[in-house]
Amino acid sequence: MNAVKDVKVKNKSKSPGGSKNPIVRSFDKWKAWIYLLPAIILLLIFTVWPIINTLRMSMLVNYNPMKAVGGATFKFGFENFTKVVSYPKFKQVLGTTMLLCVTTVPISTMLALIISVCLNAIKPFKRFLQTIFFLPYVTNSIAIGMVFAAMFNIVGSFLGSSNEAIQSAGIINNMLGFFTGNKDFYINWINAGSSYTSNIIVMIIYIVWNALPFKILILLGGLQSVNKQYYEAAKVDGTSRVRTFWRITVPMLSPMIAYVVITGFIGGFKEYSSIVGIFGDSMGPAGDAGRLNTMVGFIYDAIDSNAGRASAAALILFGIILIVTLINLWVSKKRVHY
Amino acid sequence: MAKKNTDLIMHDKDIRAVKGKARIGEIAAKTLIYIFLTVMAVIVLFPFYWMIISSLKSLEEYRLTVPTFWPKTFHFDNYANAFSTANLATLFKNTVIVGVISTILSLVITVLSAFAFARLEFKGKNVLFAGLLATMMIPGELFTITNYATVSQLGWKSTYTVLIVPFLVSVFYIYLLRQNFLQVPNELYLAAKVDGTKDLKYLWKVMIPLSLPTLISITILKMMGAWNSYIWPRLVANDLAHRLITNGLRNAFQDTSGNTDYPVQMAAVAIVSFPLFLVFLFLRKYIMKGVSRSGIKG
């Protein structure tokens, strides 16, 4: 096959008429670059230069681009990295980010897996339910975050002091009150004086709600391509549903599961706008701004004042994402079947 | 002989009993599955429901100690109120301008680049393409720091340009379209060449119609991106004249204490969410197709 092709090419190159090959003529060599020109110019300015510049800025202590234009010089060294790592705020944002990651990724993956398996097992209303479960994807995470905030919010002039009259404890608290049978029951979820734990619970609920549609889409797509014969064989053998799930469904789906877990972790480490949606720019309940700040928020906070430190933090974030992805790939290589 | 017959009959009964049991189990399992899915669907839909009914309540009704699940009186004026409070008209205009221009320019750039990578031969093509794909691994925050400095120095802050230009090239879209272009048989291209058809004409008449579904997916995702973008617009164009919808929405309702006028806020949120639902309703297929291949939100 290759030999035939070679002969053909040789024949063409020998043929008279100037063009060696109908595709590659002297002008054509330039033509590709003309087509690519707009993309390449923009990529050089907004993608390639930032990569180089971020590395450079991270090595210049307390670098500030505006001061640099004014003629200031900056010391070269690793101080940005050591400063960032030793900063108590950094440990706090790293802790919050990791906490949200290790809770939301397993919960949403497990839930999406169960929902997908259930969806795959039914026929009537399947498309309808599938559409409903995809709906949260086509929303604005800030806008719907505001809806969640309204649902968890205590209405009235609740500022955290105990003698204040609460007008409405919010729909979630009302429901909890209804189910626990205690009408006066309420938890201060996100208002002033709320605890870190309750803030995190609200964030986990919102992030999981937001993460489900994509995971269901991928997992259901994978399920539909699993060969039905495996299930029929299991049925003939009288295998229980639970066993079928763990021994057939999960192994057959393992590549898709690995995919949603990896993208879930990458997205989780970049969590930011869902928190802005619920808590606003202050990234925390009233009176405790920045309490729920994340890695990305930390980078943006430093972007104006100290680009050097922001660059160092961004590179650390990149490093963490890379390591987590590699670990995930390593684990899935051992676990993913076929 | 007779004994054998009864044996057979017994066997038959057994099978029927087992089958019946299996059917009952099947029905029970199906019922449980439907109950579970319905409960989950209600949970998923509840925020949307709550948004819509809250947006139609009066403030007094919203603040009732025991919330109502259906508005007593419908207050459509909340919507008019939201429109003026959040300056939604200006925000809509800005977002549409930025969304449309960036989508058109982005499509042109993506088509040209994908064509070059899929059909033309040039030195270093594979290296360049691999390099582009490698940049997809880097988190966007890493670019933002330098891009912020770059646009500040160019004097682009608080313009439409700053919202459009830095994100025109998407390596992922180039990749997506290139894969699509590669599926078009090369013979078509060579035949067109023999006929003396110009590349651009071939691109327009053959390649683009053949990969229309992918182009529609890209258009929708790009428009949704403009609609949902928050971080970059807030950073570089936070003035009223250029503010985009998401940023403007969050800005208009910053008060997170309990005194906010929630019905009006929910009306504003609903206005911002409706266009997305409409797009989803009519173009679901393209969105799901694009999303399942990208794994990126917006």
Q: CA A280, A286, A290: angle at the middle one, nearest 5?
A: 65
Task: Report pLDDT for B13.
Answer: 67
Which of A141, A250, A318 is closest to B228 using CA atoms? A141
Spatial separation of the C-alpha atoms in residues A143 and A147, rounded to whole Å: 7
Catalogue all structural domains in chain A, each as residue range(s) with its CATH number.
79-153+189-335 (1.10.3720.10)
**What is the band of A40 on the pLDDT scale with cuts at 50, 70, 90?**
very high
* Side chain identity at residue A44, one-letter code: L
More confident position, B164 or B123: B164
How distant is the Cα of A317 from the closest Cα of chain B, in angstroms?
Answer: 8
Residue A202 has pLDDT above 60, yes or no: yes
Task: Choose from B269, B271, B272, B286 for mutation: most chain A CBs within 10 A.
Answer: B269
**B200 — phi, psi (to 5°)?**
-65, -40
Which single residue is written with the structure tokens 């670098």?
Answer: A63
Task: Report pLDDT for B7.
Answer: 55
Q: Are A90 and A312 in contact (CB under 8 A)?
A: no
Task: Report pLDDT for A20.
Answer: 45
Cross-strand pairs, A155: A168
Residue B64, CB-side half-sphere exposure with 13 Å CA sphere: 12
Q: What does the pLDDT average to over A143-157?
A: 83
Task: Report pLDDT for A209.
Answer: 96
Q: Is B64 on the interface with A (CB under 8 A)?
A: yes
Which of A337, A110, A323, A332 is closest to A226 using CA atoms? A337
Which of A45, B49, A335, A287 is closest to A279 using CA atoms? A287
Q: Are A272 and A223 in contact (CB under 8 A)?
A: no
Q: Is B21 on the interface with A (CB under 8 A)?
A: no
Q: Is B49 on the interface with A (CB under 8 A)?
A: no
Q: What does the pLDDT average to over B3-17?
A: 62
Residue A10 has pLDDT above 50, yes or no: no
Cross-strand pairs, B281: none
Q: What does the pLDDT average to over B153-179?
A: 90
% of chain B with per-residue pLDDT over 70: 91
More confident position, B9 or A6: B9
CB contact under 8 A, A121 and B30: yes
Q: Is B236 on the interface with A (CB under 8 A)?
A: no
How distant is the Cα of A183 from the closest Cα of chain B, in angstroms?
Answer: 10
Q: Are B99 and B226 in contact (CB under 8 A)?
A: yes
Cross-strand pairs, A156: A166
**What is the band of B196 on the pLDDT scale with cuts at 50, 70, 90?**
confident
Contacts B168 to A, Cβ<8 Å:
38, 42
Question: Does the ipTM exceed 0.90?
Answer: no
Residue A290 has pLDDT above 90, yes or no: no
How distant is the Cα of B3 from the closest Cα of chain A, in angstroms?
Answer: 29
Task: Report pLDDT for A118.
Answer: 93
Tell me whether strands A155-156 and A166-168 are parallel, antiparallel or unpaired.
antiparallel
Contacts A241 to B, Cβ<8 Å:
29
Spatial separation of the C-alpha atoms in residues B172 and B298, rounded to whole Å: 12
The pLDDT tens digits for B97-110 are 999 999 999 999 99
What integer best gives the mean pLDDT of chain B?
Answer: 85
**What is the band of A25 on the pLDDT scale with cuts at 50, 70, 90?**
low
Residue A315 has pLDDT above 90, yes or no: yes
Task: Report pLDDT for A2.
Answer: 42
Task: Report pLDDT for A15.
Answer: 39
CB contact under 8 A, B257 and A155: no
**What is the band of A164 on the pLDDT scale with cuts at 50, 70, 90?**
low
Q: Is B113 on the interface with A (CB under 8 A)?
A: yes
Contacts A140 to B, Cβ<8 Å:
227-228, 246, 249, 272-273, 276
Q: What does the pLDDT average to over A242-254?
A: 87
Q: Which two tokens stand for residue B258?
A: 């309990």
CB contact under 8 A, B150 and A49: yes
Using CA atoms in the order A63, A65, A66, A70, what is the torsion angle rounded to 10 degrees?
80
Contacts B37 to A, Cβ<8 Å:
115, 118-119, 122, 129
Q: CA A202, A206, A209: angle at the middle one, nearest 5?
A: 140
Q: Are A169 and A154 in contact (CB under 8 A)?
A: yes
Question: Using DSSP, how many helices (H) and how many strands (E) does chain B show?
Answer: 15, 0
Q: What does the pLDDT average to over A85-113?
A: 94
Q: Is B209 on the interface with A (CB under 8 A)?
A: no
**What is the band of A62 on the pLDDT scale with cuts at 50, 70, 90?**
confident
**A-chain residue closest to B203, CA distance:** A35
Q: CA A225, A228, A233: angle at the middle one, nearest 5?
A: 145
How distant is the Cα of B4 from the closest Cα of chain A, in angstroms?
Answer: 26
Round to the nearest angstrom and report the end-to-end CA distance of chain B: 75
Residue B4 has pLDDT above 60, yes or no: no
CB contact under 8 A, B146 and A134: no
Spatial separation of the C-alpha atoms in residues B50 and A151, rounded to whole Å: 8
CB contact under 8 A, B63 and A168: yes
Contacts B279 to A, Cβ<8 Å:
138
Which of B138, B257, B269 is nearest residue A51 as measured by Cβ atoms? B138
How distant is the Cα of A3 from the closest Cα of chain B, in angstroms?
Answer: 20
Q: What does the pLDDT average to over A111-122?
A: 93
CB contact under 8 A, A300 and B194: no
Contacts B51 to A, Cβ<8 Å:
144, 147, 150
3-class SS of residue A269? helix
* Side chain identity at residue B53, one-letter code: I
Spatial separation of the C-alpha atoms in residues B217 and B286, rounded to whole Å: 5
Which of B67, B235, B258 is nearest residue A154 as measured by Cβ atoms? B258
How distant is the Cα of A122 from the closest Cα of chain B, in angstroms?
Answer: 7
Spatial separation of the C-alpha atoms in residues B27 and A307, rounded to whole Å: 62
Fold (topology level) of B77-294: MetI-like fold (1.10.3720)
**What is the band of B12 on the pLDDT scale with cuts at 50, 70, 90?**
low
How distant is the Cα of B108 from the closest Cα of chain A, in angstroms?
Answer: 10
Spatial separation of the C-alpha atoms in residues B266 and B278, rounded to whole Å: 18
Of A43-52, A149-158, A175-184, least confident by mean pLDDT is A149-158
What Å distances lie between residue A33 and A250, A278, B192, B197, CA to CA?
Answer: 47, 47, 21, 20
Sign of the dihedral defined by the CA atoms of residues B72, B73, B79, B85, in that order = negative
Task: Report pLDDT for B6.
Answer: 54
User: Domain boundaries in chain B?
Assistant: 2-55, 77-294
Residue B81 has pLDDT above 80, yes or no: yes
Contacts A139 to B, Cβ<8 Å:
273, 276
Which of A239, A173, A162 is closest to B67 using CA atoms? A173
How distant is the Cα of A38 from the closest Cα of chain B, in angstroms?
Answer: 7
Q: What does the pLDDT average to over A235-263?
A: 87
What integer best gives the mean pLDDT of chain A?
Answer: 83
Choose the most confident range, by mean pLDDT, from A162-171, B20-29, B65-74, B93-102. B93-102
The pLDDT tens digits for B199-258 are 888 888 888 998 898 899 889 888 988 889 998 999 898 888 889 998 888 888 866 555
